[in-house]
Amino acid sequence: MQARIPKSAALAALIALLAPALVQAYDHDMDQTPVSAALSPLPKNPLPDLSSTLKIAKPAKLAEEDAFHEKDVWGRIRSGYAIPDVNNDLVAKHVNWYATRPDYIARTTARASLYLFHVVSELEKRGMPTELALLPFIESAFNPNALSSANAAGMWQFVPGTGRDFNLKQDAFKDERRGILASTDAALTYLQRLYDMFGDWQLALAAYNWGEGSVQKAIKRNQAAGKPTDFESLADLMPAETRNYVPKLQAVKNIVANPQQFGLNLPVIDNSPYFTAVDKTSDIDLTVAAHLAELSVDEFKALNPQFKRPVIVGGEDTKILLPKENAEKYHVNLAQWSKELSTWTTHKITSARESIRSLASRFHTSPEVIRQANNIPQNSVLKAGSTILVPKLSAAVGTNIGEDVADKATVEVESERATTSKSGYKLAKAGKPSKSAPVSLVKARVSRDAAGKKHRKAN
């Protein structure tokens, strides 16, 4: 009778002959390999994908390469969804609102096309859910110049106090709450901090809108009542805007996931950087920078909305953003530029008697130019201590505005309530500070005062 070979030995011999690469990849003796693993179907490729087989995370470099395999940025966003879905009547309501407004979707996604690649890339670097890139959709409709009645500004809608908390400069020359690079970095840092605080992305989003203190109080209230503390369980304690906040984001997520289902089309956004940063260490007029880059002023401002004055003050940290092809044109044209890059300097008001008319005469310009350059409303006068922009005189050509001057510069005005004295002179009486009333582009954020905490984000 022929001797029978043990099954385990036969299986080991078969695998050793047919799959040496598999044996080496697992890097342990066949004696220790479970029979069930040995019987698994052999892959067609002799070198299996061990990252999925052994649950090994891919290195960051490989993850980045995978991101570039997507056809467009929308694909990258879809593939990185990680926040649990919400499915309720509010989501359905907001999906219907967006789906019945294709023109609004078209305008918003057209603006988003300039910024989304950068935002998604920053989220992926931090390992954050990519649907957070859609948050500006409901915050500002991707308008970096958006300003709410609560004075929340920029694509990510930072109020002044929270902006300062996250090192966003706000001075007479620039407001980094509007800057694409600075505000995105601050917003993602803030969102990650909120997630670390609550351990839940839906609650983090609620806190971004309502304030972390308010969310903490709501959680404690439900805990005391023996109730759950997830977003939907806390919704009844939230103001209407916050209660709708996560459902709005979910609605946009649903549309981006499958726009055709809702009768919508999203523009293709190339999966490559739209802009590049150019260092600027010397002052340059905004119009000159746009001219050298061969862009219209509006196109230039769309990427550089943080600059509030007609001159960009140069410094070690100053950067301007330009489309990649225009950055090349900028460098070529700059090398051939023979005129002054900046035609502005600063002047400090030392006396209330220093009128805008007298300043215009002194600096060989018109009162209207002074007013426009410094956003000074009509029927108002400058207060002593203000630092304003004035045209350079020949003696000042070649000098830059110091960073210390730019950081400390303020423009303060008061209403001109003129009365005529017996001597015939007009007297300016102090009134309430007058500021140009900005157009409200987005719905006001929840009042930080109402939330009851000094450094709380409000919508």
Q: Report helix, strand or coil for 29.
A: coil
Specify the long-range contacts of residues 204-209, CB closer than 8 Å, at least 24 apart: 205/135, 205/245, 205/246, 205/249, 206/231, 206/234, 206/238, 206/242, 206/245, 206/246, 207/457, 208/135, 208/457, 209/241, 209/242, 209/245, 209/445, 209/446, 209/457, 209/458, 209/459
| Of 225, 226, 204, 224, nearest in space to 215 by CA | 204
Record the tokens describing residue 454, joined without a space: 């000094």
By DSSP bridging, strand 275-279 and strand 319-323 are antiparallel
Q: Report helix, strand or coil for 75.
A: helix
d(CA 304, CA 25): 51
| Residues composing the chain | 459
d(CA 281, CA 267): 36
Angle (CA) 80 270 255, round 5°? 50
d(CA 293, CA 240): 45
With 0-12 / 13-18 / 19 or more C-beta atoms within 10 angstroms meaning exposed / middle / buried, residue 455 is middle
Q: Which of 139, 176, 212, 354 is catalytic?
A: 139
Q: Annotated catalytic, 139?
A: yes
d(CA 117, CA 121): 6
Record the tokens describing residue 8, joined without a space: 């385990």
d(CA 65, CA 424): 76
By DSSP bridging, strand 380-382 and strand 426-429 are unpaired
Q: Are the CB atoms for 283 and 401 separated by under 8 Å?
A: yes
Which residues are marked as active site? 139
